[in-house]
Amino acid sequence: MLPDKEDCPCGAHMSPAGEEPSVSLFREYLRLKTVHPEPDYDAALRFLDKVALELGLPMKKIEVCPGKVVSIMTWQGTNPNLKSVLLNSHTDVVPVFQEHWKYDAFSAFKDPEGNIYGRGSQDMKCVTIQYIQAVRWLKASGQEFLRTVHLMFVPDEEVGGKDGMETFVRHPDFQKLNIGFALDEGLANPGNAFTVFYGERNPWWITIHCPGSPGHGSRFVENTAAEKLRLIINSFLGFREKEKHRLDTSQCFTLGDVTTVNMTMVKGGVAYNVIPAEMDVSFDLRIPPTVNLQEFEKVIQGWCKEAGDDVTYEFAQKHMNQNITSTQESDPWWSAFSQACREMDIKLEKEIFPAATDSRFIRAVGIPAIGFSPMNQTPILLHDHNEYLNEHVFLKGIDVYKKLIPALANVAVTPSDWGLAGRLHNHN
């Protein structure tokens, strides 16, 4: 819990209604309907403008695509020439099926146990507010850091990032941030430990096109699209079963260590009595960084050839970046992160992230990134019905960032900083 007004220079104290102001701010942010397919990004920008004004931090806005704005609050360090620390979060959330929710998904309802229900309560509006409130406390208590800290808020993470981080990492303004290390979102952990992600699986979204001989539904037509489709489905789902068996029978593997395959769309046909001339099937694959991606694509090519010489495929998404972030104690960034966690008696479980976040775009340009959401003793409910986070877990997360941010922002000069040789004027 944050200290009360007498002890806290930022004035974080119990409100007259009996709710901690950090919780009230969290609930206010949850009520903003930044939900796809039409996220209200303007509401998020107004909210963040207000916060930046309260924190006394300059806010820069970059429109990376029409209507898609990246916002950056900057807390300048005592040596702004050193590599900076990025606290990244996204403002959008996935759609809801309200009929399956106990409460309005955008009411931020808090039940008697302190569970706060709302889309984005875990993914990842909680982390956004935890960053903000930790920085608020640190600034108000008069702390200064060696390195500059950027709080970045990006759109469209939940729809692949093309109009958000994926585009912005190639923008000149991103280069000017001079980032040395990034924190991004992670996952809840139902146990006592906290999960930390140092890499991600590559998402491949693939559609297989199966042409065939058309004809009347009353005949045994040879070489039909459906026969080829069946062979393709059998190949993909057979591989899926093998990977699932690897996961189920290994005590060492987590979901991020195996390849998941899920059939997500089937298309074809015009009438019950007409054999179609083509059928398509689409799959969502998530491939760990230990897999040789070129060799794996050759396997897919083999499955297509076995189904028919005219069977082809195309990718809607094909990520090939397999960069991972060092978790060796010799690495200064990881050492600072892990040491701060040890001092808080936090047990870390290191994993490959099973899905995809903006961290993959950050790592792709050579910046180490860690995925971390300080939510233990919490069921994993991102994208699920009745997503919630308990207020005590949320408040504890603020305390975690109050330790992590200074630890990272005070990392001593590293070899990567010497890329600016001649500009460094303070090596302490």
Q: For position 174, which CATH number holds?
A: 3.40.630.10
The answer to whether residue 2 is domain-embedded is no
Q: Are residues 75 and 176 in the same domain?
A: yes
- Amino acid letter for position 94: V
Report yes or no on 5 lying in a domain: no
Q: Is residue 75 domain-shared with residue 140, that is, in the same domain?
A: yes
Q: Is the pLDDT of residue 396 over 70?
A: yes
Buried b or exposed e, range 72-82, using 16+ CB within 10 angstroms: bbbbebebebb
In a domain, 65, yes or no: yes
> Is 382 in the same domain as 295?
no
d(CA 260, CA 244): 8
On whether both 305 and 359 belong to a single domain, the answer is: no
- The active-site residue out of 92, 156, 184, 200 is 92
- Name residue 182's beta-bridge partners: 86, 369
Active site residue 157: yes
User: Can you list the positions of beta strands (E) in 142-246?
Assistant: 149-154, 179-184, 194-200, 202-211, 215-216
For range 368-380, the mean pLDDT: 97
- At which residue do the structure tokens 């986070």 appear? 389
- DSSP category for residue 376: B
Q: Is 195 found in the same domain as 206?
A: no
Distance CA 261, CA 45 (A): 37
- 268 and 343 co-located in one domain: no
351 and 307 fall within a common domain = no
75: in domain: yes
Q: Tell me the per-residue pLDDT of 33-50, one tens digit each, with 9 for 90 and over.
A: 999 999 999 999 999 999
Range of the domain at 382: 21-200+324-420
Rounded CA separation 29/131 (Å): 13
Residue-wise pLDDT for 57-95, tens only, equals: 999 999 999 999 999 999 999 999 999 999 999 999 999
CA distances from 174 to 24, 79, 422 (A): 32, 19, 22
Q: Are residues 274 and 339 in the same domain?
A: no
Report pLDDT digits (tens) over 403-426: 999 999 999 999 889 764 333 333
Token pair in block for residue 54: 């309260």
The CATH number of whichever domain residue 209 belongs to comes to: 3.30.70.360
Same-domain status, 306 and 375: no
Let me know if residue 9 belongs to a domain: no
Q: Is residue 7 part of a domain?
A: no
Cα(91)–Cα(158) distance, integer angstroms? 9
Number of domains in the chain: 2
Q: What share of the chain is helix, strand, coil (3-state, %, to 5)?
A: 35, 25, 45
**Does residue 153 share a domain with residue 75?**
yes
Q: What is the pLDDT of residue 415?
A: 86
Cβ(75)–Cβ(406) below 8 Å = no
129 pLDDT more than 60: yes
Verify that 62 and 74 share a domain, yes or no. Answer: yes
Which one is catalytic: 20, 123, 156, 157?
Answer: 157
Regarding pTM above 0.85, the answer is yes
Whether the pLDDT of residue 427 is over 60: the answer is no
What value does the mean pLDDT of the chain take? 93
Report how far apart the first and last C-alpha atoms of the chain are (Å, whole number): 33
- Is there a domain that residue 16 lies in? no
Show contacts of 42-47: CB within 8 Å, 24+ apart. 44/91, 44/153, 45/69, 45/71
For residues 154-174, give the mean pLDDT.
94
| pLDDT over 60 (residue 158) | yes
H-assigned helices in 141-281: 165-168, 172-176, 225-249
Residue 194 falls inside a structural domain? yes
* 305 and 221 in a common domain: yes
